[in-house]
Amino acid sequence: TEPVLSVRDLHTHFRVEGGIAKAVEGVSFDLFPGEVLGIVGESGSGKSVASLSIMRLVPDPPGLIAKGEILLRGRDLLKIPYEKMRKVRGGEIGMIFQEPMTALNPVFTIGMQLTEAVRVHEKVSRAEARDRAIEAMRQVGIPDPAERLKDYPHQFSGGMRQRVMIAMALICNPSILIADEPTTALDVTIQAQILELMLAMKEKKAGSSIILITHDLAVVAETCDRVVVMYGGKIQEVGTVHQIFEEPKHPYTRGLLASLPTASTERKSRLSTIPGNVPSIMNPAPGCRFSNRCPEAIDRCSVEEPVLHQLPGERFSRCHLVEEEALGQVDKEKADV
Ligand code: SF4
Ligand code: MG
């Protein structure tokens, strides 16, 4: 199958006092039709910047996509005019963010924002757009949708606002939905409802795909088909959900899994049990980005940066141990994941 979206060698930088922060460095991955791809990492791993780069929403300045390609069905989104990109957003690619208030305009009613979202992308009458808005709100489970069109964002509860944002993201039937921590601010029951809703919406349009960005491996286990693990602006491991959970090939992934609560412990909201801090993206140390926190580090780790090794079964791991273990096997750096 051809990927619907291919990110190729993406480099996104921020010009900050004293230099350049390389938030995303050489990230490549594919998104296939019908799949839910999780991008996992702690805050500062580059996962959100990668998703903002796909949408060309990195604030410039100080941000800058220094290099790379974002291929949507073969068309490079980094090369199309800005006006065309506006149509891609909310059209072919829908977005959901952690905090709906940043995506919803507080001074317009939900009805105005939903109908406008339709009319930016499709030639429909106001009445038709209004019908679509009501239908979208009904689909995401907002009671009395026709009445609630008149309300402003602050008149909705947190969970309902997240539903409004999903309605907005899906009203034009995008083939890709990018959701960045869509449930983080919500309580556990609403979280589960929102994830179920996203998956149900995906099933409605055959071949549509989701990129789910999260720090929460429990969410990944429940929703994703494949996982990209990021750390220090780089991809560290790629595999299916089963591979990642059953046979992690990177010490960072193993650390994330170890920090997952078991049935008997309380669910943690942050992956905070790996000691140490995320590396400086301003002045990354030589060697592996994870070496100052890695419990399995060997001598070469602090001097030599590992490449992203390809393993059997479309798996990838950026770790020297993989190479040491597989001595005799041919290693190669492969950009396309
Ligand atoms: Fe740990 Fe070394 Fe692997 Fe980095 S390369 S994850 S420091 S073992
Ligand atoms: Mg983030």
ipTM of the complex model: 0.97
Find, among 10, 12, 54, the residue nearest to 174 by Cα.
54
> pTM for the complete prediction?
0.90
Ion ligand 2 residues within 5 Å by Cβ:
48
Closest-CA residue, ligand 1 atom 5, reads 319
Nearest Cα to Cα of residue 30 among 58, 1, 66 = 1
Task: Extract the tokens encoding 255.
Answer: 């650390």
Asked if the 5-107+152-325 domain carries CATH number 3.40.50.11440, the reply is no
The sign of the CA dihedral 3, 167, 126, 55 is: negative
Nearest-atom number in ligand 1 for the CA of 302 is: 7
pLDDT of residue 84: 94
Locate 300 and state its tokens: 């070469």
Scan for tokens 């796909």, then name that residue. 54
Report residue 14 as tokens: 């921020």
The residues that bridge with 69 in the sheet, in sequence order, are 8
Q: For residue range 97-127, list pLDDT tens digits in order.
A: 877 667 789 999 999 999 999 999 999 999 9
**Residue 177: left (phi > 0), alpha (psi -120 to 50), or beta?**
beta
Are the C-beta atoms of residues 223 and 199 closer than 8 Å to each other? yes
| Token couple for 267 | 């669910």
Task: Assign 281 a pLDDT band (cuts: 50, 70, 90).
Answer: low
Lining residues, ligand 1, CB within 6 Å: 250-252, 288, 290-291, 294, 296-298, 301, 306, 319-321
Query: Residues 233-239: what's their mean pLDDT?
Result: 97
pLDDT at 323 over 90: no
Name which of 55-69, 108-122, 290-304, 318-332 the model is least confident about: 318-332
Would you list the domain boundaries of the chain? Answer: 5-107+152-325
- pLDDT at residue number 268: 45
Kindly report the average pLDDT of the chain as a whole number. Answer: 89
Residue 330 has pLDDT above 80, yes or no: no
Ligand 2 centroid, distance to 115 Cα (angstroms):
28
The runs of H, that is alpha helices, within the chain are 47-54, 82-88, 100-103, 110-121, 126-139, 145-148, 158-170, 188-204, 217-223, 241-246, 251-258, 320-325
Q: Angle CA(9)–CA(97)–CA(167) in degrees, nearest 5?
A: 120
